[in-house]
Amino acid sequence: MRQFFKFLLASCLGTLIGLFVLFFVVIGGVARIASSASKASPITSNSVLHLKLNQAIPELMDNVEPSSFGLNNSSVLGLHDITAAIKQATKDDDIKGIFLEPELAVAGFTSLATIRQALADFKASGKFIYAYAPYYTQGAYYLASVSDEVVLAPLGIVDWRGFSATYPFFKDVLDRVGVDYEVFFAGRYKSASEPYRRNDMSAESKAQTRAFLDEMYRLMLNDVSASRNVSVEKLDELADTYAGINPEAALTGGLVDKTIYREALLAEMREALGLAVNKEISFVKLNDYFEARVTPPAGGGDRIALLMAEGVIVDGKGDIAQIGDKTYIDLIEDISKDDRVKAVVLRVNSPGGSAMASDHIWQALMDLKATGKPLVVSMGSVAASGGYYIAAPADRIFAEPSTITGSIGVVSAIPQFQELLKEKIGVHFDSVKTGPFSAGINPVFDMSEGEKALLRARTDQMYQTFLKRVSTGRNISVADVDSVAQGRVWVGTTALQKGLVDELGGLEKAIENAATLAKITSYKTTTYPKPQNPWERLFNEIMNPQETIQKAMLKDQLGTMYPYYNYLQEMADGQGMQMRLPFMIAQ
């Protein structure tokens, strides 16, 4: 009995200590929020908006894995929050210009193009944009090239070299540890299975990658040429010779306007603002400006639901930066039942994922359409494979010129551990079965020809289903869909020619079209899912501390290799057949 009370007391004491710690975490968080709010500088006249854009840019605010534990993290603005802030600054008399320091720009080319267009509109209003960096990544330079002055540090580098795509292959390392993959795929160009069955890219994979890289490169050359007043041919030559690695060559070649130190550029900026030499420039951080000046539309009246589908499509509820079918089905059902919502815009930025989850979301969207509400799709940087599958039911599909889409195909990859278990570890298995398939698809036994035939047939069946979904949504024959499918990836401009999308344009254009289809002129947009506030993020971190800490440690230890690990983890977590792009590092 004494031992019972001892454990009871220890348990109660542990609970009290936990609550005590939680209390102080919350109080500390409140203090930090209050402190940060009080420290935020007021926006005064003659201010300059300071843009660094040196962290991941999601579609939806805070839709990224937390990098640390606590409440003191500022919100990660989404792509459309950033463009809304720039748009507001364009007409804000207190903002005289933008100081752009985009040394790192962690976003896809399409997202960067969207921000760049907002910057171009800002510049067209007559306000200045100055850009400075000691090192411009190619994406950062693409953004900066729209500026009135692109300034490089005297010993700096402009990483202007053209596009590449690098794919990892795991067959050799899997062979070495004794793991084999039985791979089934439908579509000649469906290269998502190649990392498990090859050590290099197939001819088909190289051909499609070359096609979309060449088109994206053409788009970038044209944009930079127009802004910098340098010919496309000259820019191509500068990339081929990697001239930007030499600051003098970058200057004489027209990539930059000046090679001076940051302080010298600030002196120029003071002059442009009419400030005295020793006067501090009133810089406004992007997050502070967004919170202070970008206001959500007033409530009431008709609404257009903006459903943000970003990340890998997974079975179940999903996590941050994932599209969980259960979560999205619930959201779609809520939108369907909301009489205030007159139309829906589905924003897709996804490489695909689970075939089953994609189909569940597709059915929920078909049910939504049955209510009479128009459904319009806006594609972001990528809307391919499963991402295209969920876009197929739309009344109209908008893509950006550089959107990566298509990849209509299916792949299944089943690991086999016989050699690892028998030869490497010395573990053997045996079984008794009542029928040829009684043990299921079991990775500890060699897959029989009958099991292979079943999986091959199921993969082909799923591919035919994919073709039919697209055929129904696009109102074209299955044969015509198959001719542009086969797992092939297309860029937005080509996808328009192939009939996979209806029009080139961004999110605003898609929203306007949804309003037209719904026959409404006065409306507000409501975003789904709702971004998590700091309290919700903290609560989730406290409830899952091991997962949060583990991810943070892996990111820190693996560094640039973390995306490879994350891709393998996603593939291992995938259930059944997959509709997704292969992992690649595009630069």
* Residue 258, helix vs strand vs coil: strand
What whole-number distance in Å separates Cα of residue 415 and Cα of residue 452? 13
Structure tokens of 226?
A: 């127009």
Contact by Cβ (8 Å): 247, 156: yes
pTM: 0.88
The per-residue pLDDT for range 158-187, each reduced to its tens digit, is 999 999 998 889 899 999 999 998 999 999
Q: Residue length, the chain?
A: 587
What whole-number distance in Å separates Cα of residue 333 and Cα of residue 568? 32
Instruction: Give backbone dihedrals phi and psi of 324, rounded to 5 degrees, phi first.
Output: -80, 130
Contact by Cβ (8 Å): 368, 344: yes
DSSP letter assigned to residue 230:
-
Q: 424 an active-site residue?
A: no
Q: For residue 292, what are the CA distances in angstroms to 38, 127, 374, 535?
A: 13, 20, 34, 20
Task: Return left, alpha or beta for 401; rule: phi > 0 is left, psi -120 to 50 is alpha, else beta.
Answer: alpha
CB 394: neighbour CB atoms within 10 A? Answer: 26
DSSP 409-428: -EEEEEEE-HHIIIIII---
Contact by Cβ (8 Å): 149, 247: no
Find residue 323's DSSP bridge partners. Answer: 313
Contact by Cβ (8 Å): 541, 548: yes
Picking from 60, 65, 78, 79, the residue whose alpha carbon sits closest to that of residue 400 is 79
Task: Return left, alpha or beta for 407; rule: phi > 0 is left, psi -120 to 50 is alpha, else beta.
Answer: left
What sign results for the dihedral spanned by CA atoms 274, 276, 282, 283? Answer: positive
What whole-number distance in Å separates Cα of residue 337 and Cα of residue 346? 17
Q: Which residues contact 58 (CB under 8 A, 6 or more apart)?
A: 64, 76, 78, 79, 310, 321
Q: What domains does the chain contain, in order, with CATH numbers? A: 38-161+242-293 (3.90.226.10), 303-409+447-583 (3.90.226.10)
Contact by Cβ (8 Å): 466, 411: no
The one catalytic residue among 123, 190, 342, 373: 190
DSSP letter assigned to residue 57:
-
Picking from 566, 529, 497, 473, the residue whose alpha carbon sits closest to that of residue 168 is 566
pLDDT-flagged residues of the chain (< 50): 1-39
Q: For residue 524, what are the CA distances in angstroms to 293, 303, 508?
A: 18, 5, 12
Contact by Cβ (8 Å): 377, 394: yes
pLDDT of residue 569: 64
With b for 16 or more beta-carbon neighbours within 10 A and e for fewer, the 372-382 pattern comes to ebbbbbbbbbb
pLDDT of residue 395: 98
Structure tokens of 129?
A: 């944009």
What whole-number distance in Å separates Cα of residue 236 and Cα of residue 259? 22
* Residue 547, helix vs strand vs coil: helix
Contact by Cβ (8 Å): 120, 91: no
Picking from 101, 99, 55, 103, the residue whose alpha carbon sits closest to that of residue 79 is 55
Torsion of CA 256, 258, 263, 265, to 10 degrees: -80
Picking from 99, 111, 101, the residue whose alpha carbon sits closest to that of residue 140 is 101
User: What's the chain's Rg over C-alpha atoms?
Assistant: 26
Q: 385 an active-site residue?
A: yes
What whole-number distance in Å separates Cα of residue 223 and Cα of residue 147? 12
Q: For residue 387, what are the CA distances in angstroms to 233, 260, 344, 391, 534?
A: 35, 45, 17, 7, 29
Rounded to the nearest 5 percent, the helix, strand and coil shares of the chain are: 50, 20, 35
Contact by Cβ (8 Å): 166, 143: no
pLDDT of residue 418: 86
What whole-number distance in Å separates Cα of residue 391 and Cα of residue 473? 9
The one catalytic residue among 385, 402, 407, 412: 385
pLDDT of residue 54: 83
pLDDT of residue 532: 66
Note the maximum CA span of the chain.
Answer: 90
Q: Which residues contact 69 (CB under 8 A, 6 or more apart)?
A: 541, 545, 548, 549, 552
Torsion of CA 183, 184, 186, 188, to 10 degrees: 40
Q: Which residues contact 75 (CB under 8 A, 6 or more apart)?
A: 61, 62, 287, 531, 534
pLDDT of residue 64: 81
What whole-number distance in Å separates Cα of residue 179 and Cα of residue 424? 10
Structure tokens of 409?
A: 């195909």
